[in-house]
A and B are shown apart, each in its own frame.
Chain A
């Protein structure tokens, strides 16, 4: 199975003081779900932002769909990487209703409304389409965020603690539903989490970030 994402000898630091990520190598296969596990401040989110093209790399390469996306002094911008991104605070656009939030990335497509309804139904929030983000619950917002990310049919879905703000029951419910959807759609997923149970349940593989060490399970 071919690699959809490859990271080669990646090094990155916020300042000259020291590397937050040092000489990191990693690959993600098509349809694979991989978790990056580790405590806060260890560089998990930075890694995700580098893959998304939201941060430059200091050294090494990021290869997406067999094309170099990032290397020193070179950055393919995020909008050209065909990725999906879901973050802990959902980042729904507060001025747009749920349907318009989901259609945001496909505004150039003629069938956007029917497609939006399809994805809202998939995540069981079709009846909320005319509501605004502040009018719905955190769990519902997270479902909308997933629908918005998936509707663009991304090559890789990047998840940054997407279930972090949810209670245990809701988290478990969403785990089950989203994993099923990801597997059905054969999505490649990179999940950043500090929750070991979540990582174990969700992933085909776990990369564990610790002080100065990286373990692959």
Chain B
């Protein structure tokens, strides 16, 4: 006996989570009110313009490319039968297993003046030693290519789920109104998956902005490299945090615009009268074109770097696959799965709360929870360390020594905050496809709260659940900067191990953990793409 507007546990849980998510970020933002040093004046006068311009060019270029690659490949594998389609359905996710920094390392190995590809070209075409067939990759355009071909699967996965959930009848109506196949894609299918497309691209943009490894390797001045240089070069943590705050404010602004632009869009297409799309069988030419379009992203984002890593591995012996290596691999697997499960459940609870309570308060919380994805890992780590030190000293001081600081909690906490946007976007896209009448009917049939969540929403959103697990697991395995700072003493993950070897120019030894990162990234990709397929077959 209450008003639907009153405060309930479904309001309380998101608020509680928000408090924890925002605490480290607020610690970082508080640096805005600290004194501005001479270093800040120097940065403002000489390099800040470059940081902003380069970050803008990078994000714009990457966003445009991933939208094209992700949506086009998702459309082709969802709607057409062509040679290799069954492979491409899951094969297009393969580049997710390779973090941008590993692709950057392998691309320089491949395309530098004395890289593998130029060496092959010289021997094939009898070129002089100073002649190069392949252009220099260590520039902003190279970085755009690296990010686009490792990150497009985020757009592909979300768009594919959205395309598969579109109703056949809509396209049939489009055909009768005179639309060609291409027009159906551009005028019907693509506008209808706009929320998914924007969600996926936003994730890619945030990932690009928060990356350090690849842009540093290509010597491009962006916000993140600036933050790192200020911290490690000038030893000025406050100025580094002030730069990070600027980036955070910009990202918050982007998120608000994105949310506002699609606030009123309801793209629900699934009802109980849902008719799955009819796959069109293509002729030889069409089949070849589709094969080519889908193969290129996999070749650049997966096959090429794998070949280069294999090249490194084969040139030397494999003694580095030792006991320590397996222990590091186990650490990484356990940590990533645990973080992925926790993060996915949090995203599920938040999105359910939004749906169930239809509360503007909870809705307005969610964009703030997403912001962790764009926070550079090292900066987030500093915020978490400072938060944990405060909690250990003031609240958990009945423990002997530090309880939270230096423990795995910090690492898991950082992974959850950084990966939440991934989990959330898959749930948001999933929820947009459940008609409100499903909830109304369930509530009238006395299904509420957890009962509604686990009897109705959870089974319908199984695909979102597994997609989220895939995205988060793969993300955590690759996460480098936060792991470097927050890992407990003597605790190594594969990413840390790769970084240490690569930074010491021991690329051959880095090949082992890099290969493992890729292989571990492949396991959830394989299983979850099978589950996505199975759930699709169940429907059709």
Q: Which one, A20-28, A81-89, A189-197, A201-209, is touching chain B? A: A81-89
Closest-by-CB residue of A relative to B445 is A105
Chain B residues with CB under 8 Å of A90's CB are 271-273
Q: Which of A75, A79, A89 contacts B273 (CB 8 A)?
A: A89
Using A76-B1, A95-B459 as known contacts, say yes or no to A165 and B273 having CB atoms under 8 A apart: yes
B285 an interface residue at 8 Å Cβ cutoff? no
Using A90-B271, A138-B273 as known contacts, say yes or no to A74 and B444 having CB atoms under 8 A apart: no
Chain B residues with CB under 8 Å of A79's CB are 443-448
- Shortest CB-to-CB span from B353 to chain A, Å, is 16
Kindly identify, within residues 107 to 152 of chain A, every residue whose CB is under 8 Å from any CB belonging to chain B.
133-134, 138, 141, 148-149, 152
A30 to B440 CA separation, bound complex (whole angstroms): 24
Chain A residues with CB under 8 Å of B438's CB are 91, 93
- Please tell me if the beta carbons of A78 and B2 are within 8 angstroms of each other in the complex: no
B288 an interface residue at 8 Å Cβ cutoff? no
A154 to B456 CA separation, bound complex (whole angstroms): 21
- Shortest CB-to-CB span from A65 to chain B, Å, is 15
- Please tell me if the beta carbons of B441 and A91 are within 8 angstroms of each other in the complex: yes
B315 an interface residue at 8 Å Cβ cutoff? no
B37 an interface residue at 8 Å Cβ cutoff? no
- Please tell me if the beta carbons of A134 and B441 are within 8 angstroms of each other in the complex: no
Using A52-B444, A78-B443 as known contacts, say yes or no to A89 and B460 having CB atoms under 8 A apart: no
Closest-by-CB residue of B relative to A100 is B455
Kindly identify, within residues 125 to 141 of chain B, every residue whose CB is under 8 Å from any CB belonging to chain A.
none
A173 to B204 CA separation, bound complex (whole angstroms): 54
Chain B residues with CB under 8 Å of A93's CB are 272, 438, 442, 456, 460
Chain A residues with CB under 8 Å of B443's CB are 54, 77-79
A148 to B444 CA separation, bound complex (whole angstroms): 11
Chain B residues with CB under 8 Å of A133's CB are 272
Using A77-B448, A79-B447, A91-B438 as known contacts, say yes or no to A134 and B274 having CB atoms under 8 A apart: yes
Using A74-B3, A79-B446 as known contacts, say yes or no to A87 and B440 having CB atoms under 8 A apart: yes
- Please tell me if the beta carbons of B440 and A54 are within 8 angstroms of each other in the complex: yes
A165 to B271 CA separation, bound complex (whole angstroms): 12
Using A87-B440, A92-B272, A141-B272 as known contacts, say yes or no to A75 and B4 having CB atoms under 8 A apart: yes
A73 to B2 CA separation, bound complex (whole angstroms): 7
Chain B residues with CB under 8 Å of A75's CB are 2-4
- Shortest CB-to-CB span from A140 to chain B, Å, is 11
Chain A residues with CB under 8 Å of B440's CB are 49, 52, 54, 78, 85, 87, 91
Kindly identify, within residues 233 to 275 of chain B, every residue whose CB is under 8 Å from any CB belonging to chain A.
270-275
A108 to B478 CA separation, bound complex (whole angstroms): 46
- Please tell me if the beta carbons of B3 and A94 are within 8 angstroms of each other in the complex: no
A56 an interface residue at 8 Å Cβ cutoff? yes
Q: Which of B1, B442, B445, B539 contacts A152 (CB 8 A)?
A: B445
Closest-by-CB residue of A relative to B460 is A95
A193 to B48 CA separation, bound complex (whole angstroms): 63
B437 an interface residue at 8 Å Cβ cutoff? yes
- Shortest CB-to-CB span from A11 to chain B, Å, is 16
B278 an interface residue at 8 Å Cβ cutoff? no
Chain B residues with CB under 8 Å of A105's CB are 445-447
- Please tell me if the beta carbons of B274 and A94 are within 8 angstroms of each other in the complex: yes
- Shortest CB-to-CB span from A81 to chain B, Å, is 8
A-B interface contact total, Cβ < 8 Å: 92
A104 an interface residue at 8 Å Cβ cutoff? yes
B435 an interface residue at 8 Å Cβ cutoff? yes
- Please tell me if the beta carbons of B271 and A89 are within 8 angstroms of each other in the complex: yes
Chain B residues with CB under 8 Å of A73's CB are 3
Chain A residues with CB under 8 Å of B274's CB are 94, 134
Closest-by-CB residue of B relative to A54 is B440
Chain B residues with CB under 8 Å of A158's CB are 444
Kindly identify, within residues 330 to 382 of chain B, every residue whose CB is under 8 Å from any CB belonging to chain A.
none
- Shortest CB-to-CB span from B167 to chain A, Å, is 11
B42 an interface residue at 8 Å Cβ cutoff? no
- Please tell me if the beta carbons of B447 and A89 are within 8 angstroms of each other in the complex: no
Chain A residues with CB under 8 Å of B539's CB are 94, 134
Closest-by-CB residue of B relative to A158 is B444
A9 to B272 CA separation, bound complex (whole angstroms): 37
A90 to B271 CA separation, bound complex (whole angstroms): 8
A84 to B271 CA separation, bound complex (whole angstroms): 19
A78 to B2 CA separation, bound complex (whole angstroms): 11
- Please tell me if the beta carbons of A91 and B437 are within 8 angstroms of each other in the complex: yes
Closest-by-CB residue of A relative to B459 is A95
- Please tell me if the beta carbons of A56 and B3 are within 8 angstroms of each other in the complex: yes
- Please tell me if the beta carbons of B272 and A94 are within 8 angstroms of each other in the complex: yes
Chain B residues with CB under 8 Å of A85's CB are 440-441, 444
Chain B residues with CB under 8 Å of A138's CB are 273
A78 to B271 CA separation, bound complex (whole angstroms): 22
A141 to B460 CA separation, bound complex (whole angstroms): 18
Chain A residues with CB under 8 Å of B4's CB are 56, 75, 77
Closest-by-CB residue of A relative to B455 is A104
- Shortest CB-to-CB span from A150 to chain B, Å, is 11
- Please tell me if the beta carbons of A87 and B441 are within 8 angstroms of each other in the complex: yes
Max count, chain B CB within 10 A of own CB: residue among A74, A90, A93, A165? A93
A96 to B438 CA separation, bound complex (whole angstroms): 12
Chain A residues with CB under 8 Å of B276's CB are 134
Closest-by-CB residue of B relative to A81 is B444
Closest-by-CB residue of B relative to A83 is B444
Chain A residues with CB under 8 Å of B270's CB are 94
- Please tell me if the beta carbons of A89 and B435 are within 8 angstroms of each other in the complex: yes
- Please tell me if the beta carbons of A84 and B447 are within 8 angstroms of each other in the complex: no
Chain B residues with CB under 8 Å of A165's CB are 273
- Please tell me if the beta carbons of B435 and A91 are within 8 angstroms of each other in the complex: yes
- Shortest CB-to-CB span from A162 to chain B, Å, is 12
Question: Chain A, 42-60, contact with B by CB distance < 8 Å: what is the 0/1 string?
Answer: 0000000100101010000
Closest-by-CB residue of A relative to B270 is A94
Kindly identify, within residues 424 to 479 of chain B, every residue whose CB is under 8 Å from any CB belonging to chain A.
435, 437-438, 440-448, 455-456, 459-460, 462
Closest-by-CB residue of A relative to B458 is A95
Chain B residues with CB under 8 Å of A96's CB are 459
A111 to B403 CA separation, bound complex (whole angstroms): 53
A25 to B441 CA separation, bound complex (whole angstroms): 26
- Shortest CB-to-CB span from B432 to chain A, Å, is 15
Chain B residues with CB under 8 Å of A95's CB are 459-460, 462
10 further contact pairs, Cβ within 8 A, besides A83-B444, A94-B274, A104-B447: A79-B445, A89-B271, A91-B272, A91-B440, A93-B438, A94-B460, A95-B459, A105-B445, A134-B272, A141-B272
Question: Would you mind naming 7 contact pairs between A and B with Cβ atoms under 8 Å apart?
Answer: A52-B440, A75-B2, A76-B1, A87-B440, A90-B271, A93-B442, A133-B272
Q: Closest 8 CB pairs between A and B?
A: A105-B445, A91-B437, A95-B459, A92-B272, A79-B446, A133-B272, A91-B441, A85-B444
